[in-house]
Amino acid sequence: MSRTLFAFLLVASVFAACSPNNVTVDNSLQQYFDSAGVKGSFALFDNGQGHFTICNLPRYKDSAYAPGRTFDILQALVALQTGVLKDDTSRLAGKFSAGGSRSLKDAFQDTTSMGNMDLAGLSGQIGKDTLKKWIDSLRYGNKDLGGPIDSFWFDNHLKLTSDEQLGLIKRLYFDQLPFYNRPQKLVRGIMPAEINSNYRLVYKTGQTIKEDGRALGWVLGWVEENKHPYFFVLNLESDDRNKDLGATGLHIVKNILKPMGFFEGKK
């Protein structure tokens, strides 16, 4: 089977395979968005049981938004797969970095504008044709690369749904994306994480501005306890363009998961 066809078959909608028996719509979780003064959607997928818990189902499966810096995941995978970068310690071009170039890992985990500019430079190193080839083969969102090479994932041309984001992160965890295992392992290793004896919370945030001027944010990743992974994606928006939706979203994720019994090492 060709790598392109392999990609096409793997990166499909997670939700498409569901049935009413494995989906719980829990809109009571909206209280956590309301408390933070934002609106959005949340989904949790219990991989062991094949079960979804979803707040705001229409937004989760039907509404598409620019990925913002969650696109770092795909960009890093392509850079490592194609040899543009050797590993997570490889230095980026560095023309935006204060004091010289930084490693992929440092830039990936930096949520400030400096980290954003470093990763924007990486897209130029990879090249738009190469990125387009992978985006097309992965069926990554609407596959629209309109806009400049260093910002098309922010400018509301490229868009994807929460369900597509969940599918990507789930397959990354299991080495099921059409990349070699090594790039997938390296990218998992550079994602921000909280790790202790009870749980591993691994995530990536992203933020951009919608066409209507509202701030749009993402938090996606997984929480793992006793080697059992649960995958989540949270999408949120706010009238306040200066609001840190990465921090707000991560706070909401934790507030949702804690009453479900997470973070105690008992799941």
Domain-embedded: residue 204: yes
Domain-embedded: residue 179: yes
Is residue 29 pLDDT above 80, yes or no?
yes
Q: Which domain holds residue 36?
A: 3-260
Domain-embedded: residue 75: yes
From the list 132, 154, 141, 171, the residue with the least C-alpha distance to 63 is 141
Give the domain CATH number at 130.
3.40.710.10
Number of folded domains that form the chain: 1
Domain-embedded: residue 266: no
Domain-embedded: residue 265: no
- What is the rounded average pLDDT for all residues in the chain? 90
Tell me the per-residue pLDDT of 151-170, one tens digit each, with 9 for 90 and over. 999 999 999 999 999 999 99
pLDDT band at 130 (very low <50, low <70, confident <90, very high): very high
Is residue 124 pLDDT above 90, yes or no?
no
pLDDT band at 247 (very low <50, low <70, confident <90, very high): very high
HEC sequence for the chain: CCHHHHHHHHCCCCHHHCCHHHEEECHHHHHHHHHHCCEEEEEEEECCCCEEEEECHHHHHHCEECCHHHHHHHHHHHHHHHCCCCCCCCECCCCCCCCCCCEHHHHHHCCCHHHHHHHHHHHHHHCHHHHHHHHHHHCCCCCCCCCCCCCCCCCCCCCEEHHHHHHHHHHHHCCCCCCCHHHHHHHHHHCCEEECCCCEEEEEEEEEECCCCCEEEEEEEEEEECCEEEEEEEEEEECCCCCCHHHHHHHHHHHHHHHHCCCCCCC
Higher pLDDT among residues 145 and 118, named by residue: 145
Domain-embedded: residue 207: yes
Q: Let me know: does 223 contact 45? Beta carbons within 8 Å.
A: no
Domain-embedded: residue 267: no
Please state, for a pLDDT cut of 70, what percent of the chain lies above it.
Answer: 90
Is-above-0.85 flag for pTM? yes
Worst-scoring range by mean pLDDT, 10-14, 36-40, 141-145? 10-14
Domain-embedded: residue 76: yes
